[in-house]
Protein backbone atom coordinates (compact mmCIF):
# COMPACT_ATOMS: atom_id res chain seq x y z
CA UNK A 1 0.00 0.00 0.00
CA UNK A 2 1.31 3.43 -0.94
CA UNK A 3 1.33 6.06 1.76
CA UNK A 4 0.92 9.84 1.74
CA UNK A 5 1.62 12.05 4.76
CA UNK A 6 -0.33 15.29 5.07
CA UNK A 7 -0.30 18.22 7.50
CA UNK A 8 -3.10 20.49 8.64
CA UNK A 9 -2.70 24.19 9.31
CA UNK A 10 -5.36 24.84 11.96
CA UNK A 11 -7.56 22.45 13.88
CA UNK A 12 -10.84 24.28 14.44
CA UNK A 13 -14.27 23.31 13.11
CA UNK A 14 -13.03 22.20 9.69
CA UNK A 15 -9.62 20.89 10.77
CA UNK A 16 -11.10 18.64 13.43
CA UNK A 17 -13.73 17.60 10.89
CA UNK A 18 -10.97 16.43 8.55
CA UNK A 19 -9.33 14.42 11.34
CA UNK A 20 -12.65 12.80 12.20
CA UNK A 21 -13.66 12.13 8.61
CA UNK A 22 -10.38 10.39 7.86
CA UNK A 23 -10.80 8.14 10.86
CA UNK A 24 -14.45 7.43 10.01
CA UNK A 25 -14.06 6.79 6.26
CA UNK A 26 -10.35 5.95 6.08
CA UNK A 27 -10.81 2.41 4.83
CA UNK A 28 -13.20 3.39 2.05
CA UNK A 29 -10.84 6.16 0.96
CA UNK A 30 -7.78 3.91 1.07
CA UNK A 31 -9.51 1.32 -1.05
CA UNK A 32 -10.35 3.86 -3.77
CA UNK A 33 -6.90 5.41 -3.83
CA UNK A 34 -4.86 2.30 -3.09
CA UNK A 35 -3.03 4.71 -0.80
CA UNK A 36 -3.05 5.26 2.94
CA UNK A 37 -3.42 8.87 4.11
CA UNK A 38 -1.93 9.83 7.46
CA UNK A 39 -2.10 13.20 9.18
CA UNK A 40 1.46 13.63 10.44
CA UNK A 41 1.46 17.16 11.84
CA UNK A 42 -1.01 19.91 12.73
CA UNK A 43 -0.07 23.56 13.13
CA UNK A 44 -1.87 25.39 15.95
CA UNK A 45 -1.03 28.41 18.15
CA UNK A 46 -1.92 27.26 21.59
CA UNK A 47 -0.46 23.87 22.51
CA UNK A 48 -2.26 23.32 25.86
CA UNK A 49 -5.66 23.99 24.22
CA UNK A 50 -5.14 21.31 21.59
CA UNK A 51 -3.38 18.78 23.79
CA UNK A 52 -6.71 18.36 25.52
CA UNK A 53 -8.47 17.64 22.22
CA UNK A 54 -9.28 14.06 21.33
CA UNK A 55 -6.72 13.57 18.55
CA UNK A 56 -4.98 10.35 17.43
CA UNK A 57 -1.56 9.83 19.10
CA UNK A 58 0.10 9.54 15.71
CA UNK A 59 -0.42 13.27 15.04
CA UNK A 60 2.30 15.68 16.18
CA UNK A 61 1.05 19.13 17.19
CA UNK A 62 3.33 22.05 16.53
CA UNK A 63 3.25 25.81 16.86
CA UNK A 64 6.11 26.22 14.37
CA UNK A 65 5.30 26.16 10.65
CA UNK A 66 8.96 25.26 9.96
CA UNK A 67 8.29 21.81 11.41
CA UNK A 68 5.88 21.29 8.54
CA UNK A 69 7.57 23.05 5.68
CA UNK A 70 10.89 21.33 6.42
CA UNK A 71 9.35 17.87 6.68
CA UNK A 72 9.96 16.34 3.27
CA UNK A 73 7.69 13.42 3.98
CA UNK A 74 4.69 15.78 4.04
CA UNK A 75 3.40 16.03 0.46
CA UNK A 76 0.04 17.77 0.98
CA UNK A 77 -0.75 20.69 3.28
CA UNK A 78 -4.39 21.36 4.20
CA UNK A 79 -4.86 25.03 5.09
CA UNK A 80 -7.90 25.41 7.40
CA UNK A 81 -6.79 28.37 9.54
CA UNK A 82 -8.77 31.09 7.87
CA UNK A 83 -6.49 34.08 8.38
CA UNK A 84 -5.49 35.84 5.16
CA UNK A 85 -1.88 37.07 5.30
CA UNK A 86 -0.29 34.29 7.31
CA UNK A 87 -2.19 31.62 5.35
CA UNK A 88 -1.02 33.15 2.08
CA UNK A 89 2.57 33.13 3.21
CA UNK A 90 2.33 29.50 4.32
CA UNK A 91 0.71 28.39 1.06
CA UNK A 92 3.33 30.17 -1.04
CA UNK A 93 6.09 28.48 0.92
CA UNK A 94 4.40 25.11 0.44
CA UNK A 95 4.28 25.59 -3.33
CA UNK A 96 7.94 26.59 -3.45
CA UNK A 97 8.86 23.49 -1.48
CA UNK A 98 6.91 21.25 -3.86
CA UNK A 99 3.98 20.59 -1.56
CA UNK A 100 0.45 20.56 -2.95
CA UNK A 101 -2.16 22.53 -1.02
CA UNK A 102 -5.86 22.11 -0.28
CA UNK A 103 -7.55 25.15 1.24
CA UNK A 104 -11.03 26.12 2.47
CA UNK A 105 -10.09 29.77 2.83
CA UNK A 106 -12.54 31.82 0.74
CA UNK A 107 -11.18 35.17 2.01
CA UNK A 108 -7.75 34.33 0.68
CA UNK A 109 -8.87 32.72 -2.58
CA UNK A 110 -11.35 35.48 -3.47
CA UNK A 111 -8.45 37.94 -3.31
CA UNK A 112 -5.41 35.92 -4.36
CA UNK A 113 -6.81 32.84 -6.09
CA UNK A 114 -5.28 33.52 -9.48
CA UNK A 115 -1.75 34.50 -8.37
CA UNK A 116 -1.77 31.46 -6.10
CA UNK A 117 -2.95 29.16 -8.90
CA UNK A 118 -0.21 30.56 -11.13
CA UNK A 119 2.43 30.04 -8.46
CA UNK A 120 1.22 26.47 -7.95
CA UNK A 121 1.57 25.81 -11.68
CA UNK A 122 5.08 27.32 -11.79
CA UNK A 123 6.02 24.90 -9.05
CA UNK A 124 4.23 21.90 -10.56
CA UNK A 125 2.00 21.30 -7.60
CA UNK A 126 -1.78 21.09 -7.14
CA UNK A 127 -3.91 23.76 -5.50
CA UNK A 128 -7.53 22.84 -4.76
CA UNK A 129 -10.22 24.68 -2.84
CA UNK A 130 -13.64 23.06 -3.34
CA UNK A 131 -14.63 23.78 0.29
CA UNK A 132 -14.13 27.53 -0.14
CA UNK A 133 -17.50 27.82 -1.92
CA UNK A 134 -20.73 26.36 -0.54
CA UNK A 135 -18.99 24.03 1.92
CA UNK A 136 -19.77 20.41 1.20
CA UNK A 137 -21.66 20.93 -2.06
CA UNK A 138 -19.68 19.81 -5.10
CA UNK A 139 -19.66 22.89 -7.30
CA UNK A 140 -16.16 23.99 -8.27
CA UNK A 141 -15.12 20.63 -9.70
CA UNK A 142 -18.46 19.97 -11.47
CA UNK A 143 -18.22 23.44 -13.00
CA UNK A 144 -14.82 22.87 -14.56
CA UNK A 145 -15.01 19.17 -15.27
CA UNK A 146 -18.70 18.60 -16.14
CA UNK A 147 -20.10 21.91 -17.35
CA UNK A 148 -16.92 22.72 -19.28
CA UNK A 149 -18.62 22.02 -22.61
CA UNK A 150 -20.80 25.08 -21.96
CA UNK A 151 -20.36 28.79 -22.05
CA UNK A 152 -21.53 29.62 -18.52
CA UNK A 153 -23.95 32.51 -18.82
CA UNK A 154 -25.01 33.08 -15.26
CA UNK A 155 -24.36 31.84 -11.74
CA UNK A 156 -26.80 32.57 -8.92
CA UNK A 157 -25.92 31.42 -5.45
CA UNK A 158 -27.49 31.31 -2.05
CA UNK A 159 -24.17 30.80 -0.37
CA UNK A 160 -24.36 32.31 3.08
CA UNK A 161 -26.00 30.18 5.76
CA UNK A 162 -26.37 32.95 8.33
CA UNK A 163 -28.36 35.31 6.12
CA UNK A 164 -30.43 32.48 4.74
CA UNK A 165 -31.22 31.31 8.25
CA UNK A 166 -32.28 34.85 9.19
CA UNK A 167 -34.45 35.40 6.10
CA UNK A 168 -36.03 31.94 6.32
CA UNK A 169 -37.00 32.48 9.94
CA UNK A 170 -38.26 36.00 9.32
CA UNK A 171 -40.48 34.47 6.63
CA UNK A 172 -41.65 31.27 8.26
CA UNK A 173 -41.93 32.37 11.87
CA UNK A 174 -42.51 36.09 11.46
CA UNK A 175 -39.40 36.99 13.46
CA UNK A 176 -37.90 40.48 13.25
CA UNK A 177 -34.46 40.87 11.71
CA UNK A 178 -32.92 41.50 15.14
CA UNK A 179 -34.52 38.46 16.79
CA UNK A 180 -33.62 36.18 13.89
CA UNK A 181 -30.01 37.41 13.96
CA UNK A 182 -29.78 36.90 17.71
CA UNK A 183 -31.12 33.37 17.33
CA UNK A 184 -28.62 32.63 14.56
CA UNK A 185 -25.84 33.77 16.88
CA UNK A 186 -27.12 31.66 19.77
CA UNK A 187 -27.29 28.60 17.52
CA UNK A 188 -23.73 29.18 16.32
CA UNK A 189 -24.60 30.01 12.70
CA UNK A 190 -23.66 33.67 12.99
CA UNK A 191 -20.42 34.97 14.48
CA UNK A 192 -20.33 37.42 17.39
CA UNK A 193 -19.56 40.09 14.78
CA UNK A 194 -21.95 39.15 11.96
CA UNK A 195 -20.96 41.98 9.59
CA UNK A 196 -19.14 39.73 7.15
CA UNK A 197 -22.25 37.61 6.66
CA UNK A 198 -25.15 40.07 6.89
CA UNK A 199 -23.43 42.72 4.78
CA UNK A 200 -22.94 40.24 1.96
CA UNK A 201 -19.12 40.13 1.94
CA UNK A 202 -18.95 36.40 2.55
CA UNK A 203 -21.28 35.69 -0.38
CA UNK A 204 -19.30 38.20 -2.48
CA UNK A 205 -16.08 36.24 -1.91
CA UNK A 206 -17.74 33.01 -3.02
CA UNK A 207 -19.29 34.46 -6.18
CA UNK A 208 -15.91 35.97 -7.12
CA UNK A 209 -14.34 32.50 -6.87
CA UNK A 210 -17.09 30.87 -8.95
CA UNK A 211 -16.97 33.59 -11.62
CA UNK A 212 -13.20 33.23 -11.91
CA UNK A 213 -13.57 29.57 -12.80
CA UNK A 214 -16.94 29.53 -14.54
CA UNK A 215 -16.42 32.59 -16.74
CA UNK A 216 -12.65 32.13 -17.15
CA UNK A 217 -12.41 35.72 -15.92
CA UNK A 218 -9.75 37.08 -13.61
CA UNK A 219 -12.00 38.84 -11.12
CA UNK A 220 -11.62 39.30 -7.39
CA UNK A 221 -13.78 40.11 -4.42
CA UNK A 222 -13.26 43.82 -5.09
CA UNK A 223 -15.13 43.57 -8.40
CA UNK A 224 -18.39 42.62 -6.65
CA UNK A 225 -21.07 45.24 -5.90
CA UNK A 226 -22.32 44.33 -2.46
CA UNK A 227 -25.51 45.07 -0.56
CA UNK A 228 -26.51 43.22 2.64
CA UNK A 229 -29.77 42.26 4.29
CA UNK A 230 -29.58 44.72 7.20
CA UNK A 231 -32.35 46.90 5.82
CA UNK A 232 -34.84 44.07 5.24
CA UNK A 233 -37.79 44.35 7.59
CA UNK A 234 -40.68 42.15 8.43
CA UNK A 235 -42.87 44.41 6.25
CA UNK A 236 -40.75 43.69 3.16
CA UNK A 237 -40.98 39.96 3.77
CA UNK A 238 -44.74 40.17 4.20
CA UNK A 239 -45.22 42.17 1.02
CA UNK A 240 -43.04 39.67 -0.81
CA UNK A 241 -45.12 36.75 0.42
CA UNK A 242 -48.34 38.48 -0.56
CA UNK A 243 -46.99 39.01 -4.06
CA UNK A 244 -45.81 35.40 -4.37
CA UNK A 245 -42.12 35.94 -3.76
CA UNK A 246 -39.48 34.79 -1.29
CA UNK A 247 -36.70 37.15 -0.16
CA UNK A 248 -33.19 35.71 -0.47
CA UNK A 249 -29.67 37.12 -0.37
CA UNK A 250 -28.40 36.26 -3.85
CA UNK A 251 -24.89 36.35 -5.25
CA UNK A 252 -25.18 36.79 -9.02
CA UNK A 253 -22.50 36.60 -11.67
CA UNK A 254 -23.76 37.34 -15.15
CA UNK A 255 -22.36 37.58 -18.65
CA UNK A 256 -23.75 40.67 -20.34
CA UNK A 257 -23.22 41.92 -23.86
CA UNK A 258 -20.68 44.47 -22.68
CA UNK A 259 -18.91 42.57 -19.91
CA UNK A 260 -19.65 40.65 -16.77
CA UNK A 261 -21.40 41.82 -13.64
CA UNK A 262 -20.94 40.56 -10.10
CA UNK A 263 -23.55 41.46 -7.52
CA UNK A 264 -24.63 40.47 -4.07
CA UNK A 265 -27.98 41.82 -2.93
CA UNK A 266 -31.28 40.73 -1.42
CA UNK A 267 -33.87 39.88 -4.03
CA UNK A 268 -37.46 38.77 -4.51
CA UNK A 269 -37.64 35.37 -6.25
CA UNK A 270 -40.87 33.70 -7.38
CA UNK A 271 -41.97 31.17 -4.74
CA UNK A 272 -42.15 28.44 -7.34
CA UNK A 273 -38.46 28.76 -8.23
CA UNK A 274 -36.17 26.06 -6.81
CA UNK A 275 -33.95 28.74 -5.22
CA UNK A 276 -36.93 30.12 -3.26
CA UNK A 277 -37.19 26.81 -1.44
CA UNK A 278 -33.59 26.68 -0.25
CA UNK A 279 -34.21 27.12 3.46
CA UNK A 280 -32.30 27.62 6.68
CA UNK A 281 -28.61 26.80 6.67
CA UNK A 282 -28.74 25.17 3.23
CA UNK A 283 -26.88 26.61 0.23
CA UNK A 284 -27.56 26.31 -3.48
CA UNK A 285 -25.76 27.32 -6.64
CA UNK A 286 -27.85 27.74 -9.79
CA UNK A 287 -25.84 27.75 -12.99
CA UNK A 288 -27.02 28.48 -16.53
CA UNK A 289 -24.92 27.00 -19.32
CA UNK A 290 -25.61 27.91 -22.96
CA UNK A 291 -26.30 24.23 -23.76
CA UNK A 292 -27.17 22.43 -20.54
CA UNK A 293 -29.70 25.10 -19.50
CA UNK A 294 -30.27 25.55 -15.76
CA UNK A 295 -28.55 23.25 -13.30
CA UNK A 296 -28.70 23.52 -9.52
CA UNK A 297 -26.37 22.17 -6.84
CA UNK A 298 -27.86 22.06 -3.35
CA UNK A 299 -26.68 21.00 0.10
CA UNK A 300 -25.06 22.05 3.34
CA UNK A 301 -22.81 25.04 2.90
CA UNK A 302 -21.02 24.77 6.23
CA UNK A 303 -20.37 22.59 9.24
CA UNK A 304 -17.50 20.36 10.28
CA UNK A 305 -18.34 17.16 8.38
CA UNK A 306 -19.85 18.67 5.21
CA UNK A 307 -16.88 21.02 4.79
CA UNK A 308 -14.42 18.24 5.60
CA UNK A 309 -16.13 16.14 2.91
CA UNK A 310 -15.06 18.68 0.29
CA UNK A 311 -11.58 19.14 1.77
CA UNK A 312 -10.86 15.40 1.86
CA UNK A 313 -12.23 14.92 -1.64
CA UNK A 314 -9.70 17.55 -2.75
CA UNK A 315 -6.95 15.67 -0.93
CA UNK A 316 -8.05 12.48 -2.70
CA UNK A 317 -7.84 14.24 -6.05
CA UNK A 318 -4.34 15.45 -5.31
CA UNK A 319 -3.34 11.89 -4.41
CA UNK A 320 -4.91 10.51 -7.60
CA UNK A 321 -2.78 13.03 -9.46
CA UNK A 322 0.32 11.84 -7.56
CA UNK A 323 -0.48 8.26 -8.47
CA UNK A 324 -0.95 9.15 -12.13
CA UNK A 325 2.07 11.48 -12.03
CA UNK A 326 0.03 14.39 -13.36
CA UNK A 327 0.45 16.74 -10.41
CA UNK A 328 0.28 20.43 -11.29
CA UNK A 329 -0.77 19.70 -14.87
CA UNK A 330 -4.17 21.37 -14.81
CA UNK A 331 -4.51 24.16 -17.37
CA UNK A 332 -6.45 27.32 -16.62
CA UNK A 333 -7.74 29.76 -19.19
CA UNK A 334 -8.43 33.36 -18.28
CA UNK A 335 -9.77 35.95 -20.67
CA UNK A 336 -9.48 39.69 -20.41
CA UNK A 337 -12.35 40.83 -18.29
CA UNK A 338 -14.49 43.87 -18.72
CA UNK A 339 -16.92 44.65 -15.95
CA UNK A 340 -20.37 45.96 -16.80
CA UNK A 341 -21.20 49.24 -15.06
CA UNK A 342 -23.39 48.08 -12.13
CA UNK A 343 -25.66 51.08 -12.69
CA UNK A 344 -26.64 49.76 -16.12
CA UNK A 345 -27.97 46.42 -14.88
CA UNK A 346 -31.71 46.18 -15.34
CA UNK A 347 -34.24 44.51 -13.07
CA UNK A 348 -37.77 45.09 -11.88
CA UNK A 349 -37.73 46.62 -8.38
CA UNK A 350 -39.95 46.47 -5.36
CA UNK A 351 -39.97 49.86 -3.64
CA UNK A 352 -41.41 50.65 -0.22
CA UNK A 353 -41.72 54.20 1.06
CA UNK A 354 -43.26 55.99 4.00
CA UNK A 355 -45.11 59.16 3.01
CA UNK A 356 -47.51 61.77 4.27
CA UNK A 357 -51.08 60.55 4.15
CA UNK A 358 -52.25 63.42 1.97
CA UNK A 359 -53.69 64.04 -1.48
CA UNK A 360 -51.22 64.62 -4.33
CA UNK A 361 -48.48 62.41 -2.90
CA UNK A 362 -49.00 59.58 -5.37
CA UNK A 363 -48.98 61.90 -8.33
CA UNK A 364 -45.73 63.60 -7.25
CA UNK A 365 -44.02 60.26 -6.83
CA UNK A 366 -45.33 58.69 -10.01
CA UNK A 367 -44.43 61.90 -11.83
CA UNK A 368 -40.75 61.39 -11.00
CA UNK A 369 -40.82 57.81 -12.33
CA UNK A 370 -42.63 58.95 -15.47
CA UNK A 371 -39.98 61.63 -16.08
CA UNK A 372 -37.31 58.93 -15.93
CA UNK A 373 -39.34 56.63 -18.19
CA UNK A 374 -39.67 54.04 -15.46
CA UNK A 375 -43.00 52.29 -15.77
CA UNK A 376 -44.97 51.29 -12.72
CA UNK A 377 -46.39 47.77 -12.73
CA UNK A 378 -48.41 48.06 -9.55
CA UNK A 379 -48.86 50.48 -6.69
CA UNK A 380 -50.53 49.86 -3.35
CA UNK A 381 -51.07 52.48 -0.68
CA UNK A 382 -51.80 51.45 2.90
CA UNK A 383 -52.79 53.96 5.54
CA UNK A 384 -50.69 53.51 8.63
CA UNK A 385 -52.13 56.37 10.65
CA UNK A 386 -54.11 59.43 9.82
CA UNK A 387 -50.86 61.21 9.00
CA UNK A 388 -48.66 58.49 7.55
CA UNK A 389 -49.12 56.03 4.70
CA UNK A 390 -46.97 53.22 3.29
CA UNK A 391 -46.62 52.91 -0.46
CA UNK A 392 -45.47 49.71 -2.17
CA UNK A 393 -44.54 50.03 -5.83
CA UNK A 394 -43.43 47.39 -8.32
CA UNK A 395 -41.63 48.91 -11.31
CA UNK A 396 -40.80 47.20 -14.59
CA UNK A 397 -37.19 46.26 -15.40
CA UNK A 398 -35.14 49.45 -15.19
CA UNK A 399 -31.44 50.28 -14.97
CA UNK A 400 -30.15 50.30 -11.41
CA UNK A 401 -28.61 53.79 -11.78
CA UNK A 402 -31.86 55.27 -13.02
CA UNK A 403 -33.76 53.68 -10.13
CA UNK A 404 -31.29 55.07 -7.58
CA UNK A 405 -31.39 58.55 -9.14
CA UNK A 406 -35.18 58.54 -9.18
CA UNK A 407 -35.30 57.43 -5.56
CA UNK A 408 -33.01 60.31 -4.60
CA UNK A 409 -35.48 62.69 -6.19
CA UNK A 410 -38.38 60.89 -4.52
CA UNK A 411 -36.64 61.18 -1.14
CA UNK A 412 -36.24 64.92 -1.62
CA UNK A 413 -40.02 65.41 -2.00
CA UNK A 414 -41.32 67.07 1.13
CA UNK A 415 -44.26 64.65 1.30
CA UNK A 416 -41.95 61.61 1.39
CA UNK A 417 -40.65 60.74 4.85
CA UNK A 418 -38.26 58.02 3.67
CA UNK A 419 -37.65 55.35 1.08
CA UNK A 420 -37.64 52.30 3.33
CA UNK A 421 -36.31 49.79 0.83
CA UNK A 422 -35.60 49.08 -2.84
CA UNK A 423 -35.22 45.38 -3.62
CA UNK A 424 -34.61 43.80 -7.01
CA UNK A 425 -37.06 41.23 -8.35
CA UNK A 426 -35.36 38.32 -10.09
CA UNK A 427 -37.58 36.79 -12.73
CA UNK A 428 -36.09 33.40 -13.50
Ligand X SMILES: NC(=O)c1ccc[n+]([C@@H]2O[C@H](COP(=O)([O-])OP(=O)(O)OC[C@H]3O[C@@H](n4cnc5c(N)ncnc54)[C@H](OP(=O)(O)O)[C@@H]3O)[C@@H](O)[C@H]2O)c1
Look at the chain and count its residues: 428
Give 192 or 333: the residue with its C-beta nearer to a copy of itself.
333
Q: How many residues bind ligand X (CB under 6 A)?
A: 24
Applying CB under 6 A, which of residues 39, 44, 74, 275 lies at the interface with ligand X?
Answer: 44
Pairwise CA distance, residues 322 & 328, whole Å: 9
Pairwise CA distance, residues 102 & 114, whole Å: 15
Exposure b/e, 391-410, CB count within 10 A at least 16 = b:
bbbbbeebbbebbeebbebb
Pairwise CA distance, residues 383 & 258, whole Å: 44
Per CB under 8 A, contacts with a copy of itself among 277-316 are 277-279, 289-300, 303, 305-306, 308-310, 312-313, 315-316
**Contact partner, 86, from a copy of itself, ligand X, none, Cβ < 5-8 Å per class:** ligand X
**Contact partner, 32, from ligand X, a copy of itself, none, Cβ < 5-8 Å per class:** a copy of itself
80 binds ligand X (CB under 6 A): yes
Per CB under 6 A, contacts with ligand X among 117-176 are 131, 135
Which segment (41-49, 93-101, 316-324, 418-426) binds ligand X by CB under 6 A?
41-49
Tell me: is residue 94 an annotated ligand-binding position: no
Which segment (45-53, 347-355, 366-374, 420-428) binds ligand X by CB under 6 A?
45-53
12 binds ligand X (CB under 6 A): yes
Task: Look up 206 and say whether it is catalytic.
Answer: yes
In the complex, the smallest distance separating the C-beta of residue 276 from a copy of itself, rounded to whole angstroms, is 9
The one catalytic residue in 40, 88, 99, 206 is 206
Per CB under 8 A, contacts with a copy of itself among 25-54 are 25, 28-29, 31-32, 34
Question: Cβ-count burial of 412 within 10 angstroms (0-12 exposed, 13-18 middle, 19+ buried)?
Answer: exposed
Give 80 or 318: the residue with its C-beta nearer to ligand X.
80
**Sequence ranges of the binding site for NADP(+):** 9-16
Contact set with a copy of itself (CB under 8 A) = 21, 24-25, 28-29, 31-32, 34, 130, 136-138, 141-142, 145-151, 272, 274, 277-279, 289-300, 303, 305-306, 308-310, 312-313, 315-317, 324, 326, 329, 331, 333
Question: What amino acid positions are annotated as catalytic residues?
Answer: 206
Amino acid sequence: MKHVAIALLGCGTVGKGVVDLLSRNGQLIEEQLETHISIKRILIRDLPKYEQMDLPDTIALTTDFNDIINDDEIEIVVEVMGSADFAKECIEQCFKRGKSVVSANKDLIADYGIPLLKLSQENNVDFQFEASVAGGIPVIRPMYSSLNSNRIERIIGIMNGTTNYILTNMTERGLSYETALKEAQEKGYAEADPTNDVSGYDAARKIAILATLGFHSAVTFRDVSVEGIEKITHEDIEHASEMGYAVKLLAIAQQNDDGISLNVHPAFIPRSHPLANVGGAYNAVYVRGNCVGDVMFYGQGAGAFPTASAVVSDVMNVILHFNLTVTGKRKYVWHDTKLTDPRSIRAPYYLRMIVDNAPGVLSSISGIFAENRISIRSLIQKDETKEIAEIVILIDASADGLVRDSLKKVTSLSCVRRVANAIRVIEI
